[in-house]
């Protein structure tokens, strides 16, 4: 399929590059680092070879979210956003941008989001999971009440917000001790992001701000498969939910969330996600440079779905969500 739009596609600046070290064997670091630092050469060649018209770019992980010094987090976020704005301006038909945000401080994050959307022309924001603030052990999740004014601005700006994975901090990761292979994209990324997303759904956030648009990657981080059980476990016991939200969790998942195909190139999983949230809320992504563009595109272009759904997922859903122009 030609004209695909991909939106979980990463870059790095020198200050954040080392954050991506360790996700692959050390022998692959020269290749991965080169991929992360490149925007206008090999990246475009990969796009051209595999029918991708546009990428929405975002900073690598965990980057800003792992900088517990609030002032430095703000500085790096602004530096990364200014750099990305310059790169997009060089070729806006091929690239658009997600803002990196210093969510260690909701007020700073709100101001930076507003700057990126209104002044730099960014299409939304991407946060790499929870933010460490003040100390490495202080982890802030975005359902907390201190973030609700930030979410008010997200809704006001109609800015899609991508909740991207990161590993739990070591002090909270005892279940992975002795099993490091379970960290990262194998399992911990999905588990961490799914719980964070469920916290948002159960907090009442979407009752207060019903027009929020949240994106999660990797075909929904396992949530589509589990959504029925979240709402219907032990259904014979007639007890009220123990969360502040006014509706079933699945209601918010269906109305406020979009999913991407990033790094999860399996047709059975795609069909499950389509059955749960519909083809209207799924978006093509590759997860370059951590996954290969050809793996994503070759799978998607031949997946056993209708051509109508392929066009929606590959292109028109993103055009509509990010206001990218004519369908």
Span 83-122, pLDDT tens digits = 999 999 999 999 999 999 999 999 999 999 999 999 999 9
Residues annotated as catalytic are 287
Residues 72 and 63: their CA atoms lie apart, in Å, by 11
The verdict on residue 326 lying in a domain is no
The verdict on residue 270 lying in a domain is yes
The verdict on residue 239 lying in a domain is yes
User: Closest Cα to residue 142, out of 214, 91, 59, 84?
Assistant: 214
The verdict on residue 218 lying in a domain is yes
The b-or-e profile of 68-96 (16+ CB within 10 A means b, else e) is bebeebbebbbbbbebbbeebeeeeebbb
Q: Is pLDDT of 253 > 50?
A: yes
Domain limits for position 66: 4-321
Q: What is the predicted pLDDT for the residue at 327?
A: 44
Tally the domains of the chain: 1
Percent of the chain with pLDDT over 90: 96
> What average pLDDT does the segment 37-57 reach?
98
Q: What is the predicted pLDDT for the residue at 326?
A: 58
Residues 303 and 317: their CA atoms lie apart, in Å, by 18
The verdict on residue 167 lying in a domain is yes
For the whole prediction, is pTM greater than 0.95?
A: yes
For residue 267, give the CATH number of its domain: 3.20.20.140
User: Closest Cα to residue 139, out of 104, 110, 191?
Assistant: 104
Percent of the chain with pLDDT over 70: 99
> What average pLDDT does the segment 218-227 reach?
97
The verdict on residue 327 lying in a domain is no
The verdict on residue 131 lying in a domain is yes
The verdict on residue 187 lying in a domain is yes
Give residue 167's pLDDT band: very low, low, confident or very high (50, 70, 90): very high
Query: How high is the mean pLDDT of the chain?
Result: 97
Q: What is the predicted pLDDT for the residue at 325?
A: 81
């Amino acid at each position: 399929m030609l004209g695909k739009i991909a939106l979980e596609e990463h870059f790095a600046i020198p200050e954040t590059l080392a954050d991506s070290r360790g996700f692959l064997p050390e022998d692959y670091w020269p290749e991965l680092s080169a991929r992360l630092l490149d925007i206008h050469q090999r990246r475009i060649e990969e796009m051209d070879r595999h029918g991708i018209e546009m990428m929405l770019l975002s900073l690598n992980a965990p980057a800003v979210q792992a900088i517990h010094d609030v002032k430095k987090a703000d500085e790096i976020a602004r530096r990364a956003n200014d750099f990305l704005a310059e790169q997009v301006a060089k070729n806006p038909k091929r690239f658009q941008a997600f803002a990196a945000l210093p969510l260690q401080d909701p007020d700073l994050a709100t101001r930076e989001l507003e700057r990126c959307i209104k002044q730099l022309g960014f299409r939304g924001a991407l946060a790499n999971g929870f933010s460490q603030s003040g100390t490495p052990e202080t982890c802030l999740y975005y359902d907390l009440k201190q973030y609700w004014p930030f979410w008010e601005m997200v809704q006001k700006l109609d800015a899609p917000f991508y909740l991207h994975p990161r590993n739990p901090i070591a002090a909270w990761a005892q279940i992975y001790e002795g099993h490091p292979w379970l960290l990262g994209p194998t399992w911990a990324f999905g588990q961490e992001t799914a719980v964070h997303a469920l916290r948002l759904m159960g907090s009442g956030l979407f009752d207060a701000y019903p027009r929020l648009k949240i994106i999660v990657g990797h075909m929904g981080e396992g949530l589509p498969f589990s959504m029925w059980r979240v709402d219907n476990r032990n259904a014979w016991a007639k007890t009220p939910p123990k969360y502040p939200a006014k509706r079933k969790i699945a209601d918010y998942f269906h109305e406020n969330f979009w999913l991407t195909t990033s790094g999860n190139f399996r047709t059975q999983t795609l069909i499950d996600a389509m059955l749960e949230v519909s083809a209207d809320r799924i978006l093509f992504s590759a997860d370059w440079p951590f996954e290969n563009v050809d793996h994503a595109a070759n799978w998607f272009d031949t997946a056993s779905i209708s051509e109508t759904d392929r066009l929606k997922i590959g292109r028109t859903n993103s055009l509509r969500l990010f206001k990218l122009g004519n369908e």
